[in-house]
Amino acid sequence: MAIAAQTLELAPAQQVETQSYMVRRQLVKRLADSICLPESKLTPQERHMAGDVLVELLRSADADTREAVAKRLVMLNEAPRTILIILAKDEIDIARHVLENSKSLTDSDLIHIARKVRMEHRVMIAQRRHLSDAVVDVLVEFMEEDVVETILKNKGSNLSETAIQRILVVSRSHQPYVELLAKRDETRPSHGLTMFWWANSSNRRRILQRFAVTRHVLQDSTADLYPLAAADKWQDAGVRKALQFIERRQRNRVATERSIYSSLEEAIEDVARTGLTKTLAAEISYMAGIKPATGAQILTDKGGHPLAILCKAPGLKRPYLEKLWQGLGRAVVTPDGKEDPAFARVMETYDTISTDKAQTVLRYWNWSLTASLSPEVLKHIKNGVIPREEEFGAAAISAALVFSNRN
């Protein structure tokens, strides 16, 4: 009987609690309904007052109530931002309604929310139909894989140069970023042809298909400047480097005249006989119209694809790529007599790219890797720091990303 008496004594309290809960839910619903009334039926002042009262109730409301409000307010174009921000920072099941669909949240609101929530919330923000570069910059600061990949897949997101540079740095050790960046409209040749150096075989093919282009317009528009620069004895270093990038002729005739070899072909034949030395690498680089630093990067590349570019650009015939490949101690066939897969991929690159497009890629590499190697940039590279583009230019960034790559 004692137990029954206790139960009877608790029942009224439970009834009061249930009644209080129902009243609270109804009050929250009525306030939310009032806020959603059109301007013709509710003044802005009254809307804000209702919002202030609703905020206080939501702070101690249960999850079901909070989610109901989130669903109710999310499609309102002028929903009280304070309430939306509170709900956007709530548990993910509640926050998702606001983060995915609310049109009332400003960029400032999204930036504030992104800094205060967990990764799963930031993924929801990254899925929004439209994302400004300012919001993307903040989301990318955390460099969370799920968030970054969601942004890169989202066609409605806008990437600033700052965001791209952050992702580029990490892409050196995360191949999915390379593939996704290669598809983005914001990705420039400087980004794509720099990523090439750490891209896998399929991504290298994708990058070349998009960024290996001709330079016909540039060549036609600057043709009359070459004799003028030559008459000035190429005193302007910036002009010299720019025109070297644009010009049609790939081989360096002056370097060939000074070389102990009569031609680039002869130098490669020597590599096939004796193997590659530092002196031979420099000779090949100069005669191919590039700097030794660029040549070294190409000749030591593990994948070997840049060798196809090095041979195609100056017009070397197919057998010379095979001679160079063998001279570097790489296999042409497997032990069972089949064509080595790595060699096959390099030959495919050689066969599918035209000479003029290969020249564009080779000249861009040479320009980007060597044009800005000032003492200050070299110091950045040594310290593993990426220079700022507005201070040092795109070439300096490319050089720093490639030469400081440890992967």
The model's pLDDT over 177-235, given as tens digits with 9 standing for 90+, comes to 999 999 999 999 989 999 999 999 999 999 999 999 887 888 788 888 888 888 888 88
Residue 86 above 50 pLDDT?
Answer: yes
Instruction: Find the range with the poorest average confidence among 51-60, 172-181, 290-299, 301-310.
Output: 51-60
| Average pLDDT of the chain to the nearest whole number | 87
Structure confidence at residue 177 (pLDDT): 98
Q: Decide if 249 contacts 221 (C-beta within 8 A).
A: no
Residue 120 above 50 pLDDT?
Answer: yes
Bridge partner residues of 157 (DSSP): 131
CA distance 167 to 144: 10
More reliable by pLDDT, 82 or 260: 260
CA distance 109 to 85: 7
At 126, the amino acid letter reads A
240 pLDDT band, cuts 50/70/90, is: confident
Radius of gyration of the chain (CA): 32
Q: Decide if 375 contacts 349 (C-beta within 8 A).
A: no
Structure confidence at residue 67 (pLDDT): 87
114 pLDDT band, cuts 50/70/90, is: very high
11 pLDDT band, cuts 50/70/90, is: very low
Residue with tokens 């960024």: 211
CA distance 45 to 319: 82
More reliable by pLDDT, 364 or 7: 364
Read off the tokens for 151: 């942004």
Q: Decide if 87 contacts 66 (C-beta within 8 A).
A: yes
